[in-house]
Chains A and B, each alone.
Chain A
C-alpha cells in the first residue's frame, strides 16, 4: 500500500515540478495579496491621531495604551503586514488544497482515474496519494511565500528560532492534510470540473475571510466569530502567528499552542479518515 501511495505521489509531484511556471503562478496570488493588502494597512498609523493641543507626554501615553490594545487584539504585533503574512501561509495551504480536488476531477476526465480503479490497489491509497502530493506542494509554496514575506519586511519575534520554524510547518502540514482531504472528499463523485469550481468557489472565500488569517476574530461581529471559531484556518493562523512572533520578553504561550495543535490534529485525522472511507465506497466510474 505504501509503495502504491508513494508511486502515485511521485507521479503527481513530477508533473508538478516539470511546470515551474505553474509553481510560481500559484505563489503570485498570495504575494499580491501580501503586497496590496498587507502593506496598505498600517496599524500604528491608526493611532497617530493629531492630538497636538495635548502635552506630548500625554499623547505618547495614549499612543502606548492604544498600541498595547491593538497589539493584544492582533496577537502581539503592531505590524499588520506581519500579522497578515502569518495568516497568509494558511491561505496558501487553502489555495493549494483546492487544486487537489481539481486533480481528481481532472484525472477522471482524462481517464487516468479509470486506470487506477482497475488496478488491484486500495481505493484509499488513490486519495492518500493525492493528499500527500498536495501537502508537499502546499508546504513548498508556503515556504516560498514565507521567504518572500521575509524579504518584504516580515518582523518575526526576537526569539524566533529553528524550532519555531518547525512548529510553523507542522501546523501547516496538519492543516494541509485536513483541507486536501476535505476538498477531495467533496469531489469524489463530481464529474465535471465546472461543478467542482462552483463548490470550491463557494467555500474558498468564506474559509479565507471567516478566519483569523486576515483579521483578528474579536474584531468580527458575533455571527462571523462563530464561523471563524470552527474554521481550522483560524487555528492554523493562530498557531503560525504564535511561533513567528516568539519574543524573548513574552515567550511561547504553550497552552495556546497545544490547543491549536490538538484541534489541527483532530481536523487532519477526521477528514483524512472521511476521505479514505468515501473513496472506498464512492470512488468508482460513473
Chain B
C-alpha cells in the first residue's frame, strides 16, 4: 500500500519552479530517498508533504490524508527531522522532549516512558538533563531524531539527516535509521545529496533535479540501468588488436579499444573477469593491468542529470544555511 502518494505536485516561487509536476508513491515500510543537488527541490517537496507549505498545483496524500485539507491529521501521523537544528538550546534535552510530547498530545505518563525509550535508542539518556547548549552537533541531531519519534509516527521525514556531521556520527545516524525500519517497520522518506548515504540506506531512490524526477528505482536497478560493470584491461603486447575475440566471450556486451586500453562492458563483472583473462592467456598473450569498475550512483546521477553531484553549485541561501548549520553543530 502506498503511504505517500503525490500527483503532479508543483511548487512555484515567483518565477522559479522549485518542484515541477512530481508524481511518485512510497510504499509502507520502505526507506525512500530523494537524491539531488542543493536547490533541486528536495526540501520543498518535504515541506509540502509535511504540510509546511501548500502546493501551487497538484495534490498529495500522506498516510491516507490530503496534505492541504486534512493537514492536522497528516501532522499527527508524521515525524519530521528538519535540516536545520530546531531543538531549543536554552532547555535541557529532557525539557525539549517533554515539550515535543505535549505538542503531539502524548499523555504525560506515556510520554515519560517513551522519552526514556527513544533517548536510549539514540544513546542520549545520560545527557538528558543537560542544557542542549552543551551538546555536540551530533548529539543535537540525535536529539532531533528522538523528538521526531516521540509520537510513534507512521512515516518519518528526514531532511538531509547527516548534513554537516562528521563521518563517525554519520555512520551512527545511519545505524539508527536502519534500526527504526527493521525493528518497527517505520516508513522513512529522506533527502540527501550524499551518494553513499542513498546507496547505503535507501530501498528506492528518486533522482531529482530542477524540480523533476529524472529516475526512480532500486539503487541496483538504477546502476544496472546505465549498463552494468566495466572491465579495463591492458596487454603487454599491443601489436595485435584482440577486440573482436573479446567481444565473443561470455557476458561481454561491448568492447572498445582506446589507445592501449580495452574498455569492456560486461553483464556480471565478477564472473566475466576470470573468464576473459583465461581466454587471453590461451591466445598466448599476457595481461599487464586489469581493473573492474562497478557502476556507482554517482555515475547514475551523471547519466541522468548531466552533471556530477560534486560539481553542483548551491544557491547563496542554501550555502548560508549550510554554514549556519555547521557552525551551530560545532559550537
List the B side residues contacting A115 at CB < 8 Å: 80, 82, 86, 100, 103, 147
Are B99 and A285 interface neighbours, CB within 8 A?
no
The smallest C-beta distance from A13 to any residue of chain B, in angstroms, reads: 11
List the B side residues contacting A286 at CB < 8 Å: 13, 47, 52-53
The smallest C-beta distance from B325 to any residue of chain A, in angstroms, reads: 9
Are A114 and B82 interface neighbours, CB within 8 A?
yes
Residue A144 lies at the interface, judged by CB distance under 8 Å to chain B: no
Residue A163 lies at the interface, judged by CB distance under 8 Å to chain B: no
List the B side residues contacting A253 at CB < 8 Å: none
- Which residue of B is nearest A15, CB measured? B90
Supposing A15-B88, A120-B72, A120-B75 touch, asked if A114 and B52 sit within 8 A by C-beta, the answer is yes
Residue A117 lies at the interface, judged by CB distance under 8 Å to chain B: yes
List the B side residues contacting A110 at CB < 8 Å: 84-86
174-198 of chain B: CB within 8 A of chain A: none
Residue B210 lies at the interface, judged by CB distance under 8 Å to chain A: no
Residue B152 lies at the interface, judged by CB distance under 8 Å to chain A: no
- Which residue of B is nearest A11, CB measured? B99
Are B99 and A8 interface neighbours, CB within 8 A?
yes
The smallest C-beta distance from A103 to any residue of chain B, in angstroms, reads: 12
- Which residue of B is nearest A10, CB measured? B99
List the B side residues contacting A284 at CB < 8 Å: 52-54
Contact string, B58-91, partner A, CB cutoff 8 A, digits 1/0? 0000000000000011011010101011101011
Supposing A111-B84, A114-B82 touch, asked if A285 and B103 sit within 8 A by C-beta, the answer is no
256-286 of chain A: CB within 8 A of chain B: 284-286
A60–B88 CA distance with the chains assembled, in angstroms:
65
Are B52 and A111 interface neighbours, CB within 8 A?
no
105-127 of chain A: CB within 8 A of chain B: 110-112, 114-121
203-241 of chain B: CB within 8 A of chain A: none
How many A-B residue contacts, CB cutoff 8 Å?
Answer: 74
Contact string, A44-71, partner B, CB cutoff 8 A, digits 1/0? 0000000000000000000000000000
Are A15 and B91 interface neighbours, CB within 8 A?
yes
Tell me which of B85, B95, B105 contacts A120 (CB under 8 A): B105
List the A side residues contacting B51 at CB < 8 Å: 117-118
Are A112 and B82 interface neighbours, CB within 8 A?
no
- Which residue of B is nearest A3, CB measured? B102
The smallest C-beta distance from A100 to any residue of chain B, in angstroms, reads: 17
Residue B304 lies at the interface, judged by CB distance under 8 Å to chain A: no
Are A285 and B91 interface neighbours, CB within 8 A?
no
A-B contacts, 10 listed (Cβ < 8 Å): A3-B102, A4-B103, A14-B90, A110-B84, A114-B82, A115-B86, A116-B103, A117-B52, A285-B52, A286-B52
